[in-house]
Amino acid sequence: MKKTIIIGGGISGLATAWLLRSKAQAAGNELEITLLEKEQHPGGKIRSIKAEGYTCEWGPNGFLDSKPQTLDLCRAIGVESNLLRSNDNARKRFIYSGGELHQLPDGAPGFLRSRLISWPGKLRLAMEPTPFIASAPVGVDETLADFGRRRLGAEALDKLIAPMVSGIFAGNPETMSLVSCFPRIAELESEYGGLIRAMIMLAKKKKRDQAAGKVVSSAAGPGGVLTSFREGIQYLADAMAVSLGDIVRPGVAVAAVEKGTDIPYRVKCSDGAEYVADQVIVASPAFAAAEMIAGLDGGIAGILQQIPYASMTVICFGYSRGQIKRSLDGFGYLIPKKEGCNTLGTLWDSSMFEDRAPEGKVLLRSMMGGACFPEYVTLSDDEVVARVRKDLALTMGIDAQPEFVRVFRHPQAIPQYTVGHGARLQALDDALKKHPGLILTGNSYRGIGLNDCVAAAERAADEALSQI
């Protein structure tokens, strides 16, 4: 019987194990799968903290239901009936600029009325479809900042693109790769010659396809409804771990992956235990995978070490609803760097999902740090709380002291797809050809979201099964 070791029990490792077992059983292949996770509780950054009636997400708070893989996985595991969609408030998103919160418009008329972008900025945006805008540089891995300035103008970069990059990747647009972070946008420019032209053409296609009973993607990529579980997103990781049973071995830290003698791979653990395997699937972050693989292949480890990570501090504040004077009908807001605030933005978690706060209470979740402010992860709890309170007073007029506070630190939170990321992935693919049975998966490579992790897990499971 072939043996497969999966290293890392975050959502990527759990999904890989579950899908590989399911696919192997369907194909009639006997396969011994073992998942090694260093923490006592699997799930990685998928963790829902319940305290004093609040449900705080330690990491991500859900996934979009527009892609099939995660929904299919939920259906297969048997947790589809427990899914919780966010309400319509989640469609309203804001940017803080010039001393006020501006709702992001969802169409041209709303955009013209919005005060978020000045009239000179709007005129520059209106030039986007014209032939006077420079085309994408051929053969150049363009940064998001260079793309924004070239295609949309400096103001749109500062007030629209940069906050989006910090909200999704906690990244710096001056270093992030357009084609690696938002490949769909790069494709639209290449295919249609511009983003506004692409939006117009896709809107026409959407109307035709809707008339035919089809659904198409929006101009910037798939939309969808933010989806979680009433118990929190950890419910998905817990359900997979329970389903996998004794396949999951928590509290086992892997020290090294080495070549075996009579079997391809030997996995050595920090406690002295050893496992042998025909295949090793590493679902750990790139920096951790680099340490494990260094002795096996220094070249692969060196490439993995070139993938940087941004730190992040997540701060949950609970208030009585009466302490907040403004409407909370929305997803939350992001803050451009030029506003000089301490936080990247704040999500109104209790407005998006039911039961995230007790009756009559409100749960706000702020983000601090990222690639532009790496030092913030070292601040004391008192300093973090003081800075968040200062920002909330400025952006939302909240002067009251929160009745509930939780601070979660992630020193290496989110992989950064910086310029050259695509070339690094190609180098990894080439180097891995020398090691049949060694597979890398997770959010370090081709997408950081939960949907991306599940899609990568399916690719890893298919690759592993094809080698058996």
Global pTM value: 0.93
**pLDDT of 202:** 80
**Res. 32: pLDDT tops 60:** yes
Tokens of 315: 């701060």
Share of the chain above pLDDT 70, in %: 97
Residue 59 burial by Cβ neighbours in a 10 Å radius (0-12, 13-18, 19+): buried
Backbone angles phi, psi at 154, to 5 degrees: -65, -40
∠ CA(78), CA(81), CA(85), 5° rounding? 125
In this prediction, residue 257 has a pLDDT band, given cuts at 50, 70 and 90, of very high
Residue 337 burial by Cβ neighbours in a 10 Å radius (0-12, 13-18, 19+): middle
Q: Where is average pLDDT lowest: 191-200, 353-362, 415-424?
A: 191-200
- Would you call 232 helix, strand, or coil by DSSP? coil
In this prediction, residue 433 has a pLDDT band, given cuts at 50, 70 and 90, of very high
* Top CATH class, 309-415: alpha beta
Q: What is the identity of the amino acid at 362?
A: V
Per domain, the residue ranges of the chain are: 2-39+237-307+417-467, 117-211, 309-415
Q: Where is average pLDDT lowest: 166-180, 201-215, 265-279, 371-385?
A: 201-215
**For 332-341, how does the pLDDT look when each residue is reduced to its tens digit (9 = 90+)?**
999 999 999 9
**pLDDT of 208:** 78
**Right CATH for 2-39+237-307+417-467 from 3.10.300.10, 3.50.50.60, 3.40.50.300, 3.20.20.30:** 3.50.50.60
Look at 443 and 134; give whichever has higher pLDDT: 443
Task: Give me the chain's average pLDDT, please.
Answer: 93
Torsion of CA 463, 464, 465, 468, to 10 degrees: 120
In this prediction, residue 266 has a pLDDT band, given cuts at 50, 70 and 90, of very high
Helix 162-169 to helix 144-151 angle, to the nearest 10 degrees? 150
Check the CA dihedral 150-155-156-159 and report its sign.
positive
Check the CA dihedral 297-299-303-309 and report its sign.
positive
**Res. 170: pLDDT tops 80:** yes
Residue in 370, 308, 362, 309 with CA at minimum distance from that of residue 334: 370
Q: How far apart are the first and last CA of the chain?
A: 10
- Please report, for residues 65, 82, 91, 352, the alpha-carbon distance to residue 86 in angstroms, rounded to integers and kept in the order given: 10, 13, 9, 5
* Top CATH class, 117-211: mainly alpha
**pLDDT of 214:** 53
**pLDDT of 217:** 40
Q: Do domains 117-211 and 309-415 have the same CATH topology?
A: no
In this prediction, residue 213 has a pLDDT band, given cuts at 50, 70 and 90, of low
**Res. 154: pLDDT tops 80:** yes
**Res. 20: pLDDT tops 80:** yes
Q: CA-CA distance, 284 to 7, in Å (whole number)?
A: 6
**For 49-94, how does the pLDDT look when each residue is reduced to its tens digit (9 = 90+)?**
999 999 999 999 999 998 899 999 999 999 999 999 998 878 899 9
